[in-house]
Amino acid sequence: MSTTLDRARAVDDGLLGSAHVAACAGFAEFVDRRVVPIADDLHRSQYTPPQVIDELGRRGLLGLPIPAEYGGGGCDAVTLGLLAAELGRGCSSLRSLLTVHTMVAHVLARWGSRAQRETWLPRLASGECVAALALSEPEVGSDATAVRTRVERDGDELVLHGHKKWITYGHVADLLLVVARGPEGPTAVLVERSRPGVRTRLITGMIGIRASMTADVHLDGVRVPADHLLGRPGLGTTQIAGTALDLGRYTVAWGSVGIIAACLGASVAYADTREQFGAPIREHQLVRRLISDMYADYHASRLLCLDAGVRRDRRDPAALPAASLAKYTASTAAVRAASDAVQVHGANGCGSEYPVQRYLGDAKVMEVIEGTTQLHQVGLADHAFHEFGGFK
């Protein structure tokens, strides 16, 4: 396995400044010491213990990108990406916690009222409160505008009825950002888990991110004050989910880079020591090809993530398609890398003694969440036709 020193050296590629390299070294040290040793247990138990979430909060990692005026770390996008990559290298479930929590925080910071920001952001920054995005439903996935969960006004309250599904960390989140159908169309509403009528059921047996406390969320006549409306009624998908998913794509892309790094670390270590035909398998050319493909994918994906991060930090509008390109490239590359890592490990890769089978399931999930590979391909094709083919 790679050491913290190796990781710091690996990211110090001349593209990052010293502050980013130092931040990444700190993230890597934490992940190696506190996350990697427990990741397989979390995966097997399909459970994230509350003390693990507490530790991420106490260390300021969950609140890292939240503006400093609300008690967060106020970090830039590149730093957030480096954290997502390191967490993703250690445990994709915990990386997915960072993703959903920061998505909600980001939307609150960008579109929340002053009262909403002052109420929620300090609690999200400290980790006292965990947030999740409740968008998908049993019959609603990629076409988020078709949500069936209903929200209606009743005097000074909003009343929600419906069923959300595949809600990452939905089983433990204290705050749910729910997108529901109102009279004006999809509408975003903040719902505390403690409200009567909120009921969750843990989903087990998933292919990956098995410790992500993913849940069915039932909303049975849940009442919240009308000031829990977030953003404009009718713009719950374009404005609110769109803003959230843009950041989600970005951290998932970096998390995928982390998976590729983990695959490389495991595969290089294994190929160094495993002997077949009288030699370490690192000397067999077809094994070297698998390693070299992973290596090229790692660097290409990481560069696209860095490009997306630098654009976010410059407030460049092209950061949106850049995050899509990074997510598409890194998640598909992570699936290739994880499949090849299992191949390098042979039968050992198919069992639970080595982490590579966990990486394979986790990587596949990266291709599905925050926009499927196919949805990104549709959008990226448009960009290709515009960029290289002129207008028709």
Partner 1 sequence: MSTDIRTRVIGYLSRYFPVSDLADTDDIFKRGFVSSMFAMQLVAFVEQEFAVVVENEDLELDNFRSVAALERFVRGKLSAPVAS
Closer to partner 1 by Cβ: residue 87 or 103: 103
Q: Candidates 160-168, 173-181, 188-196, 320-328 — which segment interacts with partner 1 by CB under 8 A?
A: 320-328
Q: Assess 310 for contact with partner 1 (CB under 8 A).
A: no
- Is there a contact between 93 and 132 (Cβ–Cβ < 8 Å)? no
Q: What is the 3-state secondary structure (H, E, C) of the chain?
A: CCCHHHHHHHHCCCCCCHHHHHHHHHHHHHHHHHHHHHHHHHHHHCCCCHHHHHHHHHCCCCCCCCCHHHCCCCCCHHHHHHHHHHHHHHCHHHHHHHHHHHHHHHHHHHHCCHHHHHHHHHHHHHCCCCEEEECCECCECCCHHHCCCEEEEECCEEEEEEEEEEECCCCCCCEEEEEEEECCEEEEEEEECCCCCEEEEECCCCCCCCCCCCEEEEEEEEEEEHHHEECCCCCHHHHHHHHHHHHHHHHHHHHHHHHHHHHHHHHHHHHHHCEECCEEHHHCHHHHHHHHHHHHHHHHHHHHHHHHHHHHHCCCCCHHHHHHHHHHHHHHHHHHHHHHHHHHHCHHHHCCCCCHHHHHHHHHHHCCCCCCHHHHHHHHHHHHHHHHHCCC
Cβ neighbours around 3 below 10 Å, total: 12
Q: Assess 316 for contact with partner 1 (CB under 8 A).
A: yes
Q: Assess 238 for contact with partner 1 (CB under 8 A).
A: yes
Q: Assess 386 for contact with partner 1 (CB under 8 A).
A: yes
Q: Assess 76 for contact with partner 1 (CB under 8 A).
A: no
Choosing from 128, 157, 370, 387, the catalytic residue is 370
Selected binder of partner 1 within 30, 70, 111, 359 (CB under 8 A): 111
Q: Assess 379 for contact with partner 1 (CB under 8 A).
A: yes
**In the complex, least distance from residue 131 CB atom to partner 1, rounded to whole angstroms:** 20
Backbone angles phi and psi of 350, in degrees to 5: -85, -15
**In the complex, least distance from residue 246 CB atom to partner 1, rounded to whole angstroms:** 7
Q: Assess 118 for contact with partner 1 (CB under 8 A).
A: no
Q: Which residue in 237, 201, 228, 235 sits closest to 216, CA to CA?
A: 201
Q: Assess 250 for contact with partner 1 (CB under 8 A).
A: no
Q: Candidates 12-20, 22-30, 264-272, 315-323 — which segment interacts with partner 1 by CB under 8 A?
A: 315-323
Selected binder of partner 1 within 137, 246, 307, 367 (CB under 8 A): 246
Amino acid identity of residue 104, one-letter, is: V
Q: Candidates 161-169, 193-201, 234-242, 280-288 — which segment interacts with partner 1 by CB under 8 A?
A: 234-242
Closer to partner 1 by Cβ: residue 12 or 313: 313
Closer to partner 1 by Cβ: residue 9 or 314: 314
**In the complex, least distance from residue 238 CB atom to partner 1, rounded to whole angstroms:** 5
Across 249-270, b (16+ Cβ under 10 Å) vs e yields bbbbbbbbbbbbbbbbbbbbeb
Q: Give me the 212-231 binding string for partner 1, x by CB under 8 A, dash otherwise.
A: -------------------x
Residue whose token pair is 């250690």 = 90
Q: Assess 187 for contact with partner 1 (CB under 8 A).
A: no
**In the complex, least distance from residue 235 CB atom to partner 1, rounded to whole angstroms:** 6
- Is there a contact between 316 and 331 (Cβ–Cβ < 8 Å)? no
Q: Candidates 215-223, 235-243, 330-338, 343-351 — which segment interacts with partner 1 by CB under 8 A?
A: 235-243
Q: How many residues touch partner 1 (CB under 8 A)?
A: 23
Q: Assess 361 for contact with partner 1 (CB under 8 A).
A: no
Q: Assess 232 for contact with partner 1 (CB under 8 A).
A: yes
Closer to partner 1 by Cβ: residue 175 or 319: 319
**In the complex, least distance from residue 147 CB atom to partner 1, rounded to whole angstroms:** 14
Residue 370 is a catalytic residue: yes
Q: Assess 321 for contact with partner 1 (CB under 8 A).
A: yes
**In the complex, least distance from residue 384 CB atom to partner 1, rounded to whole angstroms:** 13
Selected binder of partner 1 within 155, 205, 278, 317 (CB under 8 A): 317
Could you tell me if residue 159 is left (phi over 0), alpha (psi between -120 and 50 degrees) or otherwise beta? beta
Selected binder of partner 1 within 173, 179, 235, 287 (CB under 8 A): 235
Binding site for partner 1 (CB under 8 A): 111, 231-232, 235, 237-239, 242-243, 246, 314-321, 324, 379, 382, 386, 391
Active site residues: 370
